[in-house]
A = this chain, B = another copy of it.
Amino acid sequence: MFILVYNKCRQFGLLTILRGCDYMFQEALDKISYGLYIVTSRDSEKLNGQIVDALMQTAAIPPAVSISINKNNLTHELIMKSKVFGVTVLSEETPMIFIGRFGFKSGRDIDKFEGINYEIGKTGTPLVLEYAVSVFEAEVVDYVDSFTHTIFVGKIVDTKVVSDKRPMTYLYYREVVKGKSPKNAPTYKGK
């Protein structure tokens, strides 16, 4: 039997009761458009990187970008220490297995850079060149709390256009590549 309850979300329904307003809100928030990126950083010899969709340019003069990173992630720890990060804009051709390496595994367990094509940028951060449309690197000028995540504001230090491929969008990733959000993503929707 379904039991309908009028809850604090002002909505009826079983899913809302089980998972709360947060779940209900997600349907409208899923209409936001994203690309798909690898964000990298380093702490002395330890290099790491992770998949990010929450990235945007937040100033033009000087150019600055902002990213949202889960506080539990190793990349968060490295950016907090080094105050620099790198970004790779991934192309539509990026295969699931490559995204999985950076998105669904932790750099605490594996070396994500083993055997892949990357270079060390001006800031010392690694820049992943495989499946890259462009890469850029930034120095963190400030950051702000967003609950489970930190938003880092980075002033662009250097950039490079790597190919003329089409950038991967999150919509393309879900519809064509058939990918999902990892658990630590700001857009995570459960299983």
Contact = CB atoms under 8 A, between A and B. Distances in A.
Interface in A75-113: 89
Contact of A57 (B60, B63, B186): B186
A169 B172 CA distance: 12
Copies in the complex: 2
A187 interface: yes
A40 interface: no
Contact of A35 (B33, B65, B145, B189): B33
Given A63-B22, A144-B143, A187-B60, A31 B167 contact: yes
For chain A, give the interface size range: 35 or more
A123 interface: no
B147 A64 contact: yes
A26 B144 contact: no
Contacts of A74: none
Contacts of A63: 22, 25-26, 29
Nearest to A132: B31
A39 interface: no
Given A56-B55, A58-B151, A149-B58, A65 B159 contact: no
Given A33-B35, A54-B56, A56-B56, A61 B25 contact: no
A60 B188 contact: yes
B159 A25 contact: yes
Residue in A53, A66, A145, A155 with the greatest tally of chain B CB atoms within 10 Å: A66
A126 B14 CA distance: 30
Interface string A133-171: 111100001111111110101011011110000010110
A34 B32 CA distance: 8
Given A27-B161, A33-B169, A151-B153, A146 B60 contact: no
What 3 pairs between A and B have smallest CB-CB spacing? A33-B35, A28-B159, A144-B144
